[in-house]
Amino acid sequence: LRWNPVYRSTFKDRLSNRYKNYMPCVDVFVCTADPILEPPIMVVNTVLSVMAYDYPPEKLSVYLSDDGGSQLTFYALLEASKFSKYWLPYCRNYNIEPRCPAAYFKSMPEPLGATHASDLASIKKLYGEMETRISKSGNLGRVSEEIRSKHEGFSQWESSSSRRDHPTILKILIDGRRSEEKDVEGLPLPTLVYLAREKRPQYFHNYKAGAMNALIRVSSKISNGKIILTLDCDMYSNNSQTIRDVLCCFMDEKQGQKIAFIQHPQKFANITKNDLYGGSLRVIAEVEFEGLDGFGGPIYCGTGCFHRRDTLCGRAFSDEDCWVDWETQIRMGTEGSTQDLEEEAKPLASCTYELLNPQWGKQVGLKYGFINDDVTTGMEIHYRGWKSMLLNP
């Protein structure tokens, strides 16, 4: 065996030319667990960065799982859903990077002319106002009655609800199937969903793996994207082209069919000047991962990773049966109202669902019982015959 690092690059223009109308639906899962340790404004920045991917919005759905079960986080997502109607057109018109608003404003963007300057000033103002409203609630420690009375979503919190004891709270804030969900320029928006799975003190919830498995099931009813991106709430997307990059690999006719997941390295923005603690993870990101890619692929690291839905749900690899029809999209529940869809999906996130379906956490979904469920899940996928890839654009 020889160390055989692999460095990949993609040809996105060819993908677009060839598969224009046949690209799969993509579901993005963002996980959060605590409105104090993970401030809602940071969480919605992550959400906005992926809502703004350069990808057809009708094929993109973003889910926020809130294990904190917090009205503060829900309120922030509600604010973000309104802000996205301005943010997405702004990103599109000026083709900006990164599309995480906080990171973008911090980068001190130079406007390209007078119109851009005025648009930049107004979007910055809108963002600032949203941030102020969100932090007001944060400082208060609760969402005011005035705000609560304006959106029916808040009524799902019962007076007895606490983070460890509450029913499933599910709200489709933007239903991409509905034609009236448009941005300020009249273009469609991606679907946006808030989920706080049911929590009861007598049931073990399996931490992040449990949250991910609830998301896999709930999203299968709502958008059922064939590709799933998992993101921690403190990790934004720094490149709007990433979905297209990833699809170049998954849809590659020679190698793509063997690929179960595509991992991106974690990059941190708040590293000390001399990187005293080695936070840039250079050995992992620049040596080990490329080397692993030459031996069947890197491990799954929990965030920044695109999976095939069917593999995550337990499908084994076989040479005869590896062809994927990316074009057809079985979108569940295309009929019916948003509310019907919510009611249909809710039972999938209940505490008892997995008691009746004990394959979850074992053969299906993220594996339970490990502190690093991501690594063990990735290794099991490899064991079932699949390969993975590293993309480090």
Ligand X SMILES: O=c1ccn([C@@H]2O[C@H](COP(=O)(O)OP(=O)(O)O[C@H]3O[C@H](CO)[C@@H](O)[C@H](O)[C@H]3O)[C@@H](O)[C@H]2O)c(=O)[nH]1
Query: Rounded distance, CA 62 to CA 231, Å?
Result: 11
For residue 75, the one-letter residue type is: Y
Cβ proximity to ligand X, 91 vs 391, nearer residue: 391
Cβ proximity to ligand X, 171 vs 177, nearer residue: 171
At which residue do the structure tokens 């055989």 appear? Answer: 4
34 labelled catalytic: no
374 labelled catalytic: yes
**Is 135 in contact with 41 (CB distance < 8 Å)?**
yes
Q: CB of residue 38 vs ligand X: minimum separation in angstroms?
A: 6
Cβ proximity to ligand X, 34 vs 183, nearer residue: 34
Per-residue contact string for residues 369-388; x = within reach of ligand X by CB under 6 A:
---x-x--------------
Q: From the candidates 27, 66, 67, 232, which is the catalytic residue?
A: 67
From 134-142, 188-196, 207-215, 247-255, give the range in contact with ligand X by CB under 6 A. 207-215
Choose which of 19, 94, 105, 207 interacts with ligand X (CB under 6 A): 207
**Is 311 in contact with 216 (CB distance < 8 Å)?**
no
DSSP bridge partners of 32 = 66
String of b and e for 142-158 (b: at least 16 CB within 10 Å)? Answer: ebeeebbeeeebbebbe
Choose which of 15, 24, 28, 32 interacts with ligand X (CB under 6 A): 32
Query: Rounded distance, CA 335 to CA 246, Å?
Result: 30
For ligand X (CB under 6 A), the number of binding residues is: 15
Per-residue contact string for residues 219-258; x = within reach of ligand X by CB under 6 A:
-------------xx-------------------------
38 binding ligand X? (CB under 6 A) = yes
From 26-34, 55-63, 167-175, 322-330, give the range in contact with ligand X by CB under 6 A. 26-34
Per-residue contact string for residues 52-71; x = within reach of ligand X by CB under 6 A:
-------------x-x----
Q: CB of residue 34 vs ligand X: minimum separation in angstroms?
A: 7
Comparing C-alpha atoms, which of 353, 339, 37 is closest to residue 199? 353
Cβ proximity to ligand X, 120 vs 211, nearer residue: 211
Query: Rounded distance, CA 333 to CA 347, Å?
Result: 15
Q: CB of residue 303 vs ligand X: minimum separation in angstroms?
A: 4
Q: CB of residue 284 vs ligand X: minimum separation in angstroms?
A: 12
Q: CB of residue 67 vs ligand X: minimum separation in angstroms?
A: 4
The residue whose Cβ lies closest to ligand X is 302
Q: CB of residue 138 vs ligand X: minimum separation in angstroms?
A: 17
Choose which of 171, 208, 264, 307 interacts with ligand X (CB under 6 A): 208
Q: CB of residue 164 vs ligand X: minimum separation in angstroms?
A: 11
DSSP bridge partners of 172 = 193
Cβ proximity to ligand X, 232 vs 293, nearer residue: 232
Residue 260, CA distances (Å) to 265, 340, 363 in order: 17, 33, 15
CA torsion sign for 283, 244, 104, 300 is: negative
At 326, list the tokens: 């990316």
Query: Rounded distance, CA 306 to CA 386, Å?
Result: 14
From 31-39, 104-112, 153-161, 306-314, give the range in contact with ligand X by CB under 6 A. 31-39
**Chain-centre distance of CA 46, in angstroms?**
8
Query: Rounded distance, CA 88 to CA 187, Å?
Result: 10
How buried is 383 (Cβ within 10 angstroms: 0-12 exposed, 13-18 middle, 19+ buried)? exposed
- Residue positions counted in the chain: 393
Per-residue contact string for residues 294-313; x = within reach of ligand X by CB under 6 A:
--------xx----------
Choose which of 211, 243, 262, 390 interacts with ligand X (CB under 6 A): 211
Q: CB of residue 33 vs ligand X: minimum separation in angstroms?
A: 4
At 8, list the tokens: 């990949």
For residue 267, the one-letter residue type is: K
How many CB atoms are closer than 10 A to CB 267?
Answer: 14
H helix and E strand count, the chain: 14, 8
Q: Where are the beta strands (DSSP E) in 36-164?
A: 60-66
The catalytic residue positions are 67, 374
Binding site for ligand X (CB under 6 A): 31-33, 38, 65, 67, 207-208, 211, 232-233, 302-303, 372, 374
